[in-house]
Amino acid sequence: MFSNNNRINFKKREIIISSTKCITGHTLSMSSALEVSLCFLFLKYNFIAGSANITTLDKFGRGLKIIRKSIKANPKVILNNSSGFGGANVCIVLKKYGVNLKN
């Protein structure tokens, strides 16, 4: 994903996990476009939407920062996974314009 001189040290960064599907529902062929649009809003307006309707985390999710309510944040990079019918799966990385990730 990144060349050797542009690697990101994820150990220094907090990784927040969220899902918007519980808010938007099944949008079928529009899901990827909608999710990317939401990610751009998160980057521009400095927030991350929470994962609604989670009452109990699976034991494998314990220790991960899965947010359940929207939070104010300053995301610099967003990784979006979108899985569609028939194997139309997409993963895209979005970075806030002008942000230096080398630090």
Nearest to 50 by CA among 96, 83, 17, 12: 17
**Which residues span the domain enclosing 62?**
14-95
Whether residue 66 is contained in a domain is answered as yes
The count of structural domains within the chain is 1
Residue 72 pLDDT? 96
User: Is residue 69, in this structure, part of any structural domain at all?
Assistant: yes
- Give the model's confidence band at 78: pLDDT under 50 very low, under 70 low, under 90 confident, else very high: very high
pLDDT interval class at 50 (50, 70, 90): very high
Q: What is the pLDDT of residues 5-44, one digit of tens each?
A: 455 555 666 789 998 888 888 777 777 888 899 999 999 9
Please report whether residue 19 resides in a domain.
yes
Is 31 part of a structural domain of the chain? yes
pTM, full prediction: 0.77
Determine the average pLDDT of the residues in 88-99: 86
Residue 96: its pLDDT value, please? 92
Buried b (16+ CB within 10 A) or exposed e, 32-59: beebbebbeebbeeeebbbbeeeeeeee
CATH of the domain at 33: 3.40.47.10
Residue 1: predicted pLDDT: 36
Q: What is the DSSP string of the chain?
A: ---GGG---GGGSPPEE--SHHHH---GGGHHHHHHHHHHHHHHHTEE---TT--S--GGGTTSEE-SS-EE---SEEEEEEE-GGG-EEEEEEE-TT-----
